[in-house]
């Protein structure tokens, strides 16, 4: 399994699977990641194997969607600042139509077509497709809740 995300300039990058933070468990801010920012994004889960997928057929390749909290530190280099352990909290998977707007589904189709040019997409891969909110600072003692998909304490 891999995470694939996209910078604002359109560049694709991968996030290791060690970055998964299990929903509802507390997130401990690493001492080297001060300040720790968080961005809420929509994500899709790939449901079948594919390579060089046309945008027209991309909707067949994802089966569920959710919200994720992608935590990062702007004080670290980009390759380290967004990929540390437990940097991505995954919400509960829902039907795609209940989470994604039509515009987000179109963006997901485009991202699948683009990512499948460079990566073999496998069942269980997760694509972070759209930032839903502006970044905000995480502080110790806060509780992040984006009901009904995502909730955890920050310690």
Q: 99 exposed, middle or buried (CB, 10 Å; 0-12, 13-18, 19+)?
A: buried
d(CA 34, CA 14) in angstroms, rounded, equals 22
Q: pTM, whole model, 2 decimals?
A: 0.90
Percentage of the chain with pLDDT > 90? 62
pLDDT beyond 80 at 147: no
Is the pLDDT assigned to residue 8 strictly greater than 90? no
Q: 126-146, pLDDT tens digit by residue? A: 999 878 888 999 999 999 888
List domains and CATH numbers for the chain: 3-139 (3.90.850.10)
- pLDDT tens digits for 26-61? 999 988 888 999 999 999 999 999 999 999 999 999
């Amino acid at each position: 399994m891999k995470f694939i995300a996209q910078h604002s300039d359109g560049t694709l990058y991968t996030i290791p699977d060690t970055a998964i933070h299990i929903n509802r468990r507390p997130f401990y801010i690493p001492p080297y990641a001060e300040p720790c920012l968080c961005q809420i994004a929509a994500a899709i889960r790939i449901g079948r194997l594919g390579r060089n997928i046309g945008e027209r057929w991309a909707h067949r390749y994802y089966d569920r969607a959710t919200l994720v909290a992608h935590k990062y530190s702007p004080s670290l280099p980009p390759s380290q600042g967004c990929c540390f352990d437990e940097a991505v909290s995954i919400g509960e998977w829902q039907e795609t139509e209940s989470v994604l707007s039509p515009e987000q589904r179109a963006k997901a189709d485009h991202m699948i077509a683009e990512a499948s040019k460079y990566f073999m997409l496998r069942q269980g891969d997760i694509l972070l497709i759209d930032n839903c909110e502006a970044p905000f600072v995480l502080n110790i003692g806060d509780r992040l809740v984006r009901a009904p998909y995502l909730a955890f304490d920050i310690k």
